[in-house]
């Protein structure tokens, strides 16, 4: 049986100022695929290199924040009306969406590999933790929602810390032009048969939501 993925098509028109983006030959794409396909794809050496890369970009990272960073996630949250109170954002960077999450969930945690990013985060209502998403520093079933915006997919870890009736929202803010990109179909495949998902194109981006218990189908 193939993982279930329902497509809602385009729900927000593309923005006229869509960034140029990258193609499938971008070197980060191979890394994204390897990590999603196998736990062995994320090595200590690769983790160190990614941390160094994002630490080097931290000073100017917040300048990239804008509507295109939040509109796809905001649309997903609005349409799905997700249950639960505990939310984790993986790869939170300088916290561009933590405020949005904090307005909807009682307890919000942002985790990022790069301390340089976290030092520049400005969100009083969320807890910030430096950590490796390949080895999340949380107990099993800790969160009702995991949000990953332009982030790597670590299937085993996300499933481990997600509550049995929890949800995962996976967002690529510039669609398939995003450097760290995995299609909704590949996310579904990596998560496996126990999950069902829904996805939609939204502005310049694409979001998908996956759950062991697909309440939107009820």
Q: For the chain, give every domain's residue range.
A: 4-8+22-217
pLDDT > 90? residue 123: no
pLDDT in tens, 155-192: 999 999 999 999 999 999 999 999 999 999 999 999 99
Higher-confidence position of 72 and 18: 72
Token readout for 84 is 């639960």
State the Cα–Cα distance between residues 215 and 20, nearest whole angstrom: 36
Write the CB contacts of 11 (distance below 8 Å, at least 6 apart in sequence): 75, 79, 200, 201, 202
State the Cα–Cα distance between residues 204 and 126, nearest whole angstrom: 27
Distances (CA, A) of 95 to 66, 69, 160, 177: 12, 11, 24, 22
Write down the mean pLDDT value for the chain: 92
CATH 3.40.50.150 fits 4-8+22-217, yes or no: yes
Q: What pLDDT score does 1 carry?
A: 42
- The length of the chain, given as a count of residues: 218
3-state secondary structure of 144: strand
pLDDT > 60? residue 147: yes
Residue 201's CB is within 10 A of a number of other CB atoms, namely 19
Q: What percent of the chain has pLDDT over 70?
A: 96
């Amino acid at each position: 049986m193939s993982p279930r993925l329902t497509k809602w098509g385009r729900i927000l028109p593309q923005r006229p100022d869509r960034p140029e983006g990258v193609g499938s030959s971008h070197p980060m794409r191979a890394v994204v695929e390897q990590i999603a396909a196998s736990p062995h794809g994320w090595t200590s050496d690769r983790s160190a290199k990614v941390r160094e890369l994002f630490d080097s970009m931290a000073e100017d990272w917040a300048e990239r924040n804008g509507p295109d960073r939040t509109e796809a996630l905001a649309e997903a949250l609005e349409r799905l009306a997700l249950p639960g109170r505990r939310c984790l954002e993986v790869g939170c960077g300088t916290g561009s969406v933590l405020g949005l999450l904090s307005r909807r969930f009682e307890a919000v945690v942002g985790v990022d590999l790069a301390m340089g990013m976290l030092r520049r985060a400005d969100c009083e209502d969320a807890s910030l933790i430096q950590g490796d998403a390949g080895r999340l520093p949380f107990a099993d079933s800790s969160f009702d929602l995991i949000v990953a915006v332009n982030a790597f997919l670590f299937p085993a870890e996300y499933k481990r810390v997600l509550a049995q009736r929890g949800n995962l929202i996976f967002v690529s803010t510039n669609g398939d032009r995003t450097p760290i990109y995995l299609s909704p179909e590949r996310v579904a495949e990596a998560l496996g048969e126990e999950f069902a998902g829904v996805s939609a194109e939204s502005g310049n981006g694409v979001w998908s939501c996956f759950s062991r218990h697909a309440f939107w189908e009820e």
